[in-house]
Structures are given as C-alpha cells and as structure tokens.
Structure 1
C-alpha cells in the first residue's frame, strides 16, 4: 500500500504577512480576519512519500512556476534538491503550471496535471502531461482528448488510463496509441469510470475505476442517469443569464442505474459483473496480490451492506461478508487487503462503537480494537510488524488521539502525548509520520516522528501567530457539559476577555448539529475561532453544543435521530438554552442562534418550531425541507418521503413559520449545487404566507461555501452588524 502525503507549506501569500507587535491590546476586526488573513495558521502540506520510505517530494509554488523538490525525512531542514525545475516544464513554448502530480510505480515518470478546474466539491478537469525523469522530455497525455480527469498510471507503469467526457481511455506509453475502453459516455446520460453528483457528494468518491495488479484489466462503474431528474441553476455573468442543468436525485426520486464492468485489454472486451439486487456500489478495489476484485453494494435504505469477491478468471461474484443495521451502515475508505490475500480491514459499528475488524474471505471476523469509544480513522498498517495505526476518541468525543495496536496480541499504545486533536500521515513503509496537533486555543504544531512515536523535529509551530495573538483581547475556549433533553451534552464557551460574573451577557449559540460533524472539538478553529473571539470582544458569550445525533459517542447516540432528523437535536438546543438562562451572568432574553448548512436548518427550526427560546436566528445555506435534498444523504437518515412523510413534515421549518417571533435572517448562494436556492425560496414563500417579517440576502453565483474575492469579508461584516443590531 502506497500512502500519499497531502501537505502544503503555504496556501497563499497571506501566510507571509508580518504584523509588528503592538504596545497595547488591539481590537479584532473582520478585516483582519477575513481580508488580511492575519490569523491564518500555517500547516505543512504537499508531501509525497517515495518508494524508499525515507525521501519525499513536494510542490513549491514560485513566481517563475512550480518546482518539484526532493528531501529526506531525516534531514528535513536541509536544502532540498530541485527534482523538477519549472524551466523544464515547457511544451510547444507554453510554460506549464503544475497543479498536481503522481509517480509511476518505479518512479521514472511523472504524470503532471495542469489547468486544473474544479467542477463540484471533489471533481475537476485538467490537462495532463507525461514527464520522463530520465530523458527529461515532456509530452501531452492526449492531444486528441485534450481535457481529462482522473488520469492514473497502470501498476506496471506502461499505460495510463484517463476519463474524457464520461468515457475511459487507455494510452500505451510505448507506442502512444490510445484505446477507448468505453464509447457510450454522454453528459447527463451515461458516465463511465467516474461518478454522478450524488456519489461524489455523499460517498465522497469520483474515482470509479481500478487497475488490476497485472495491469491487464480495468474494473469500472457505469452510471445510467437517464431516469434521474434534472435540476437547473441560473448564473448571472452576461447580458442574458446562463442556465446550468445537471442530474440531481432528490429524496424519494430515481437514482442512476449503476453497474460494475471489467475491461480486459488483451481481449478488448468489457464484461458486466452480476451482483444481485442492490441500489448503490459505493466502493470497488482490486487485491494488490492477484486477480481478485471486491465490490461493495448497498440497498436503497443503506442498512444492508454486502462485500462481493469477484474472481478475475470467471468474473463471477460471491458474497463473502455482509452487515445489517436497524438504521444504516457506514461506508469507509479502509478497504485494505492484508498480505495473506485472504482478508481485509474494515471499521464497523457492529458492537455499538466504531472499531477495526479483520474480515476473512471465508467469513471469519476478528475484532482488532474494542471498548466503549469510537475509532475515528484507520491510518495504515505495517505488515512486517503486524501493527495498525489509527486515531480514536478513546479520551472523549472532544479529543482525537493517535494509537498503534498489535494485530496479534491486541496490545495498544497511545502515540500522541497532548490533549487536543492529533492527526498523522505516514510515509511509504510506515517508517515515519508527520503529526499535526492543536487544541482549541493553540494553532497547529506540525512535527516529524518515527513510527514508534519518537519526535525527530518540529516542522512548524506557528510561533509568529501565537505571538501575534497576544496583542489581542482573546479569551480561552472552555469545555463543559450541560444537561440536554435526555442526557449530558458536550459544549464549549468563550466569554468576553473582561468578563464580569456580576453582569448579564447576551449569548450567541453556534450550531451545526447534524450527523457526521461535531462542533465541540478540542482543535484549532482558525478564522471561525477568531470571529467568535470578535463576538466576545463585542460583549457576547459564544457557546456551541453537540446534540444527540453527533459523532464519537457510540452508534446509539449517533443514530438516535434516525427517521426524525431535527427533532431530538432541536429538543437538545432548546434544553441547552434553558440551562444557559439559569446562569447568573446570562441575559435570558438575549439568546441567539446561527448555523450554516445543517446548522442553518437547525437555526431555522429553532426560530420556528423552537420559538420563543431564541431572540435572533441566522440561517446560512439551510435545508428547509428534506424533500429538497439529495436522496443518498437524506434517505440514509430518513428513508424516503413516501415511507416516512411525518418524519419529513414534522421537522421542516417551512411548516412552522407561523410560530416565528424573533429576528430571522436567511442567507443563500444562488449557485449552490448542494443545498439548492430552492430551499430559501420555499422558506420565503412560507414566511410570506404566515405574514412574518424577516431578512434575506442572496449571493449571486456563489456555491455552498459562499466565498471568492471579497465575499467572506462582506458576509461576516453583515453577520456581525446583524447580530449587534438584533441580539
């Protein structure tokens, strides 16, 4: 298994700004946070570990072009070798800007991506070039098919597969010939080798093909979108607006028909693989040892997962493992084959908590980790030593620590040493790892370690930022628990720096609350953290609470909201507001709530169904009716509207606008391909029908992230002014 580092030294020039120490405390401003990026914390990113496990390469941005540098882990601070100079990256007198790159198996060639353009959250288009590290020659991957995506070397390094306009092609590097694996791809109809919008967003994959270990076959998914309804967005750029139409399956609506195929390059034929009844194929992966393929399938309810083992000689599939759940089964990225060729690693919640299991092809299941805590992420395995590395919430849902565990005797060791949030990326061969640590009040400290946990050197400690922060009136983010509707909930609080317990303060509640994302984590929050400090500077107490349905407290806690998204979360936010009102220093008549995306949904629900507990609510890019959202996400937690109409209707803000009492501000981007502007428009219709006063702001052409140019500064300036005026 070759693990790839994904680090970057500095995202933009703002990282190098120098702020002179002030003689007295300065005031925080939105301009400092969102325009000057004065509190941007450096991370060490951009590494690609090489085959020897002791060297790495990284991309260095420069005015004359992007260079690829080579260094050793053991002499990280030494001057790196210029592996590929920008002046070498010229084709037909055009200087190429490297956006990404990958090695072939023996590291004699590079596949370079240029002219990188994002499509959705993970998908992109690019123009690829092949750079021969021995001859130093560069050539385009294909001039016949000039815009590509997902180009990938074959394991033997002799071929490259790529996607062009929904078809798969293979280039033979020896003679330059290009073979079409598929020919029926067409926009908004047939997709080969990559995924549709909803797979990309909810299963987090765009790569939907896999090379066989002998480089003779490609397994790929084919999406037939014919029956998926289209959604159209309007973009305002020219005299006449542009219409963009794409396939988007909303809750209860038809999905793409997805099928698995195996292309044999020697026979130049594609064969479909029969997998029985299923709705989704969220993952496929070849064994690195032989001609065996594993495909995962899910039913529409996503509560029955099956692992199919496909024999490459016959293309016949058999189910070797399956898992069922009363609610839903999680999909992970840990489809890692063991060296015995007869087992693989999976994380599962089958015992009530998320743990690592070894699954054998004969059906035997071996649990590797256990306890009343959740594994967060599988990080890798050292097969020679039989050691698995992972992060977990063993020390509480607010914490993330790094561990190792022996497969043989299950003895485990904590490698991280400080409370907070520790993450790690391992080098090839699992010899070293780069650790990134922070806590809620301390920016990232990045360090290089031996696999044993021994620290070699600190790569970045953000000391300049730490010193800069001393010039501002910042308060500690404090963690505590409060009583929710039924159980204790994790929370944090930021008080004004000049906090006086004899005074009364308004409370600003920051929420998300949805499955799969916690806000109460002991980790650095960057600009959002500084915005909350700005609110504290203005005299607000800022609070965040993780309600039922959030992560790292076991499956029962996480899945308690099944079939009724919003209900239990709202109960917990109301309970939290009631608890806060009992604090001597809280003004019980001035509690506000703000959230984005699922958080916007919760703040909208709190201001309507949850009235009158909140004086002000701000909803950014909210879902307002789960019928409007995509089916994979929504049905995982709610089933279909046809099956669970009450679950949808009983917790949709548009059905409770007549209860609105406080000030409500609705914000959305018109180019949001994820949570469509339709949600905001339907909320407006309902508010008008209920004759309610409200505030609305639409950002033209902005997507779900609402950013670009001056957008974030404008947004947070507006949010601050609205809060000051109404809370």
Structure 2
C-alpha cells in the first residue's frame, strides 16, 4: 500500500474542505429567500441572567422548526438546556432594596419578597386583584399598584394602605373596532359562509397553513377586585392614568394622565382580500400625519391634603417659541401661543429631597428637564435642549431615554446631542453644575450605573462608526475602558453580580451567537451556542469592504462595497430602509437577505454598493437631521454620488446602474428614477412611501413638520410629484395588507404614471403580506423579479 506523507494528508484535507464549499455563483434566489430558520439558523435572543448570576437564559430555535423556545446554559458552558420559562430561577421584573439584599416581584398577580442570601421567599398578597409595579418605598414598606391606584403594604405588620382613590375614565376604547374591524366575514347564510371558508383552502396554501398554525397560549390573571375600605378618600375621576409613584417621604403621589384629542385623527382602512372567511375584511390602521394628537401631563396628589394639581407648562422657557421654518411663509400669520407638550414620569431622589420631570414639545423641537417643587408646583430649569430640526439620538428621544439619579441623591444624569453626538451628562441640583462625562465623535448607547455606584457601563461606537464595544467609565468621568475584545457587534447583558457579561456577538458574515466572558478588560470571550445551518455554512460568504467616498458637499459617506472578481460593467446600489438605521457596520445585518442577494449579484459580475446615506444612525446629530424638510435631498444625492464613485473608481459603465430598496429605500429608489434617469437606469422600489402626507404622524412630523404648516417640505419630498421624470425601467412591489406604508401609496402612484402615459413600469402585488414579508414564496417571487429586472436591463452589454 502506498503511504501518504503529512504534506499529502494536508493537501487531501485542503482539497476535501474546498470541495465542501460551494462557489457563490451557485447561489439562487430560491435558496437564499427560504425561511431563515431553515437555511441560516435562528440566533439566540432576549438574553437574561438568573438572579444568582450562575445561568444565562435566552430564547432559541436550534432545530429550525419555527418555534422559538426558552433555554438556559451555565455561564461555565456546556449544552444549552430547553426549559419552561416558568421554571424556578427564570428572571422576571424585580426591584432591589437599597442594600441589594432583597428583591420584590410579582408572580401570578401577587407580590413576593425574596431574601437573596438565604433564598427565603415570602408571599405578601393573595388576592383576586392583579398587583403590579412593586418597589421598596422603605425597608419595610412596599408600594404597588392595583387598578390604577397606589397602595402600600407594611411587611412587618401586613397592613395595606390605599393612598389614592382615582376613578379612571377610559372613554369608549373598549367599543372601538378590532384590528379585523369593519368587515366581519358574515353574510347571514351560514352554509354559504362555511362553503367560502373551505373554498379558501383550495386556492391558497398560505391560508391553509395559517389556519392550521397552533395558537400560542398565555397565562392569564384572576378578575380584578378591590381592597374594600379606602380611608374614606374622595374619588377623583381622571382620564387614562399611568406611572403612579409615591415620593420617598410618603407625602406625594406623582402620576401621568393621557389626554385623548377632542377630535381624534381619523384612522385609515386597509382592505384584506385573502382571508379565512372568503370575504374582504377591513383592517383598522393608523392615522395620517397632521391629525390632532393626544398628550400626557403630570399630576401631583398630596396625601395629607387629599388634593391634586397638574404641572403648569407655562413655566417652561421658550414654550411659545416659533420654529425657524415659519420664515418661509411670510404671508401667513403665525401666532405665538403655548405649544402642546407631554410629560410622563416624575423622577424622585432616593431621600425625597428632589423631584425632576422631563417634558417634550409636541413639535419635538424642545426637550426640557425641570426640577419640581412638589409643595408648590414650581418648575426650575435644569436643561433645555432645542433643535430646529427635531430632538433625537441615542438615549435622547422619547421618554424611554437616559434619565436618573446618582446614589448621592442630588445629581441627575441624562444624554444630550449638545455637541453634535449623543453623550452622557450629569447635573448637580444642589449647585446647578452640569458636567459632560463623555466626548468625541461617537455615540453612547444604554449607559448604566454599576451596583456600587462607582462607575458607568455603556456601549459605544468609539473605535469606528460600524463597531460597537462595551465600556466602563469612572462615575465622574475620565478615560473609558474597553471591555469586550471582538470587533463587530457586541450587545451586552451584565450579570446581577456584575462579574460576568453575556454577549450577543456577530460579525459581517457571522450571524449572532451567544458568548460569555468575565467582566474584565481583555478577558477571553467563550462561545456558548452554535446556530448555523448547513445550507448557510456551505458557502464562503464574501465580506464586503467597508469604505468611504466623498459626497458633493465634501462629507465622507460610509458604504459597503461588493467588488466582483470578473465585473460585467454593471453596478447596483442597495438602499437600506427606515432612514434612521445603520447598515454599513461590522456586525450581522438585519438585512441578511439583502446581504446574501448582494453576494449573489457580485458573483454574477455586478459591483454592489450599500450606503449609509444622510439620516442614517451612528454618525451624530448633523447626519441624522441632514434630511430635515427635504427627504429626497442629501439622502438622495449621497446615492447619486455613490453611483458616480462606482463609475469613476470601479469601472462601472454609465447607463448601467440599478437601484433597489424597501420602505425608505423604496422611496429613495423612486426618487432616483424620477429625478436622475441619466444615472439610475433600472430600479426596484419595494413597499415604498410615494407621498409623505399619507404616512404616520410620529415619524413624518419630526422631519417634515405637518402638511398644513409646511407644505413646501412635503411637495419637494414626495416622489409622486416628480413621476413625469421616469425614463428607465421601474418595478414597484408592495404588500396589499401593509399597515405601515399603505398599499394606497402605490395605487395613487400607479394612477399618476398611467395619466402621464408611462409604460416602462410594472407592479407586483402580494395579497397576504404586510410591510415586512413573512412568507418565503413572497420573498422569492419579489427577488426573482428584481434579479430579472437587472439582468434584462443593466446586465446586458
């Protein structure tokens, strides 16, 4: 027998290994658009720790059966174990006492206390009511909420005290139509209706599969009751009440109430044609931008005085300020009147000495942080952030942003884009001193105080806009210390004892897996899960090059470049959705289908560019607001500059550039086709906004104000007004039950194109799809059409 040396064995192994890797040229749309759990795998998600910091809990579907289940694994490693998420030790929402020796939590609607050292559990309530939001008011007093009223229970005596007697008026919301709404699929003829239901199974496999899909069950709670006598307090009738909090000194209860608009914005209707019943039914969907909006305000209830007052917004500095855009309408009379504002939460210091409230203007051009004097209702300014575009950025926008007290009970912390990037600040209320703790051209995400109150933990893209690491920082500022070691995306969950971190880590071509490491700089990260399927592992996926190119205004634009070995002279630009989203990064993309499709295009000879255009996240305030009052301005010119970059630097031929994208990416594709037909020759616009006056209020009013107040912004930002510019080949694809960007958007555009006599466009409709497609057959059909469009147009020399 002939002997094979070590070199020969290595050579054979290399040949064998290479034989197991398929060339990217073999990729097909059908393969990459199948259910991701079948081809790629399902990554771990919703990661948390056991209370004793020994085990990590997460949700996972390693078998690819489409059912995500709960798992646990020791922080020391081993085999993940499938468990019931009601198992002992499964984390729930809980609150620590001051010295972190006990926790209070709810289970089954009742309140429990657990002593962490002895693991002794004591049940405090056993009622038919659902007790919620328990927290330690004092060491032996727990506050909690029942039916929108605040109670306390003394853990030593068992005495339950009702502090408020609010009667909440919810209006007639219980009578509002359901999501399925107006059409109920009922003709009055039961035999006819039954026949139609069964006939649906003969015409749609999707409907058959959905009808047979098992329903998830949820554990419910007992019926609501009452505690009986309530200290004879007078009932106070309120609208929808939220965020009940007892001040640490027990003298005041703060709460938020939501005031519905008197003339609520009219909801829209989305018809659903392919249904279980066989009848067309109507889905009640969102309202359109510009409709009257509700608002929240803060109330203060005096426990001793049995009285209520609401915070006076007239104390907010600049409450009557007009936005700068009003200067563009000199013929309109603008009245300086108090703007509508919302406030939802009162922040109390641990000793009860200070109270702080955060307000947001309805036009989102101001955010105020105000000190509250609860005895009088006086408000004192701590910080006013004004942005003539709109308030936003990590930890800034909305009421879920960074906001809290330091352990000294006199210093608050918050985030602000004051310097152009979202950074961490503190303010000492006793001295009126504000201090910036982090600085630089990077964003800070999810800052959190350590348990001992001596340091900060946060995530930041300090190393590169597309790399996120986990850092620590001394309490009063200083040099941040990088803890995680693997470049890419690091989503960290800190263990309760803060000795370990669980990491959901991913890289450009590596989907997210669960890792664990010691909470020490430079410690080694240990991989705990393996989620990839053989189909995905069979290919040697190309990592696009992360590059920058110059925009027309001199800005550096980040992009992913897919450069083929044998270019065919054609180029494709992919446009990510959402506007404020980042896709040029070193972690696994939420656009994983497009990542694979771009790999396929590259293998076919196309040079592909994926751009973080103006409005993308991760690049600071000026980049975020670069589209203010003109969507289809710098966000579009960045794409056109990218096309020129492909022609000037990478040999792409003029007249052979295509574009595709969904949602915001579809909107940009339409605009590129209508305004730059000399540059973009073929485009696939998927689930596209065509007229921003028909999109929702929360997103659109920030960027374009409202159609009545700022019609200039809407007219220059909506593709439907520029449709006469279409010259190239256009594919429009849209789900017919899209409750986000309504099917009406493309129907109106289609009518416009018909009236203009355009005949170089086509529309693909997806009757069972919402904004985000769910059926592999729909994804496959859509992307086969995109590929066919490019092959038949720019792909031909």
TM category, shorter: 0.7 to 0.9
The residue number in structure 2 matching 1:427 is 495
Task: Please state if 1:377 is matched with 2:411.
Answer: no
The residue number in structure 2 matching 1:595 is 661
Report the Cα distance in structure 1 between the residues aligned to 2:295 and 2:712, rounded to whole angstroms. Answer: 28
Query: Of the candidates 129, 145, 169, which is equivalent to residue 184 of structure 1?
Result: 169
Paired residues for 1:500-579 under 5 Å: 500=566, 503-512=567-576, 515-525=579-589, 526-579=592-645
State the secondary structure of the residue aligned to 2:521: coil
Report the Cα distance in structure 2 between the residues aligned to 1:141 and 1:538, rounded to whole angstroms. Answer: 66
Report the Cα distance in structure 2 between the residues aligned to 1:268 and 1:239, rounded to whole angstroms. Answer: 57
Report the Cα distance in structure 2 between the residues aligned to 1:171 and 1:40, rounded to whole angstroms. Answer: 50
1:47 Cα deviation from its structure 2 partner: 3.8
Report the Cα distance in structure 1 between the residues aligned to 2:703 and 2:578, rounded to whole angstroms. Answer: 10
Report the Cα distance in structure 2 between the residues aligned to 1:108 and 1:257, rounded to whole angstroms. Answer: 32
Query: Of the candidates 222, 225, 235, which is equivalent to residue 272 of structure 2?
Result: 235
The residue number in structure 1 matching 2:432 is 363
Report the Cα distance in structure 2 between the residues aligned to 1:140 and 1:681, rounded to whole angstroms. Answer: 56
Paired residues for 1:351-500 under 5 Å: 351-361=419-429, 363-371=432-440, 373-382=441-450, 384=452, 386-408=454-476, 410-428=478-496, 430-455=498-523, 457-460=525-528, 462=530, 464=532, 469=536, 471-472=538-539, 474-487=541-554, 488-496=556-564, 499-500=565-566
Deviations, residues 555-599 of structure 1 (Å, cap 9, x unaligned) = 333333322222112122112112212345424322111111211
The residue number in structure 1 matching 2:205 is none
Task: Please state if 1:220 is matched with 2:256.
Answer: yes
Report the Cα distance in structure 2 between the residues aligned to 1:560 and 1:307, rounded to whole angstroms. Answer: 26
The residue number in structure 1 matching 2:31 is 32
Query: Of the candidates 342, 347, 351, which is equivalent to residue 286 of structure 1?
Result: 347
Query: Of the candidates 317, 320, 324, which is equivalent to residue 386 of structure 2?
Result: 324
Change in CA separation of 1:383 and 1:131 when aligned onto 2, cut-off 3 Å:
closer
Deviations, residues 704-725 of structure 1 (Å, cap 9, x unaligned) = 2232575444443444444444
Report the Cα distance in structure 1 between the residues aligned to 2:786 and 2:124, rounded to whole angstroms. Answer: 50
Change in CA separation of 1:447 and 1:570 when aligned onto 2, cut-off 3 Å:
same
Instruction: Calculate the aligned-residue CA RMSD, in Å.
Output: 4.3
1:703 Cα deviation from its structure 2 partner: 2.8
1:69 Cα deviation from its structure 2 partner: 7.3
Per mean C-alpha deviation after superposition, the further-off stretch among 352-361 and 693-702 is 693-702
Change in CA separation of 1:714 and 1:110 when aligned onto 2, cut-off 3 Å:
farther
1:172 Cα deviation from its structure 2 partner: 8.8
The residue number in structure 2 matching 1:17 is none
Task: Please state if 1:248 is matched with 2:300.
Answer: no
Report the Cα distance in structure 2 between the residues aligned to 1:531 and 1:139, rounded to whole angstroms. Answer: 56
State the secondary structure of the residue aligned to 2:713: helix
Report the Cα distance in structure 1 between the residues aligned to 2:389 and 2:709, rounded to whole angstroms. Answer: 14
Unaligned runs of 5+ in 1: 1-19, 89-97, 113-127, 192-205
Report the Cα distance in structure 2 between the residues aligned to 1:682 and 1:131, rounded to whole angstroms. Answer: 57
The residue number in structure 2 matching 1:48 is 48
State the secondary structure of the residue aligned to 2:502: strand
Deviations, residues 68-115 of structure 1 (Å, cap 9, x unaligned) = 777764x454887979767x9xxxxxxxxx9x9534655575446xxx
- Structure label with greater radius of gyration: 2
The residue number in structure 2 matching 1:295 is 357
The residue number in structure 2 matching 1:307 is 369
Paired residues for 1:624-703 under 5 Å: 624-693=690-759, 694-700=761-767, 702-703=769-770
State the secondary structure of the residue aligned to 2:636: helix
TM-score normalised by structure 1 residue count: 0.77
Change in CA separation of 1:435 and 1:587 when aligned onto 2, cut-off 3 Å:
same
1:657 Cα deviation from its structure 2 partner: 0.6
1:459 Cα deviation from its structure 2 partner: 3.4
1:223, 1:257 within 8 Å by CA — same for their partners in 2?
Answer: yes
Deviations, residues 350-404 of structure 1 (Å, cap 9, x unaligned) = 1222221112335321010112x12240331226362222222222322223222
State the secondary structure of the residue aligned to 1:425: strand
Unaligned runs of 5+ in 2: 1-16, 97-101, 115-119, 177-239, 315-337
Report the Cα distance in structure 2 between the residues aligned to 1:459 and 1:578, rounded to whole angstroms. Answer: 42
Change in CA separation of 1:582 and 1:208 when aligned onto 2, cut-off 3 Å:
farther
Deviations, residues 672-726 of structure 1 (Å, cap 9, x unaligned) = 3332333222222221221213222333353322325754444434444444444
1:516 Cα deviation from its structure 2 partner: 2.2
1:482, 1:489 within 8 Å by CA — same for their partners in 2?
Answer: yes
Paired residues for 1:248-267 under 5 Å: 248-251=287-290, 253-262=291-300
The residue number in structure 2 matching 1:339 is 407
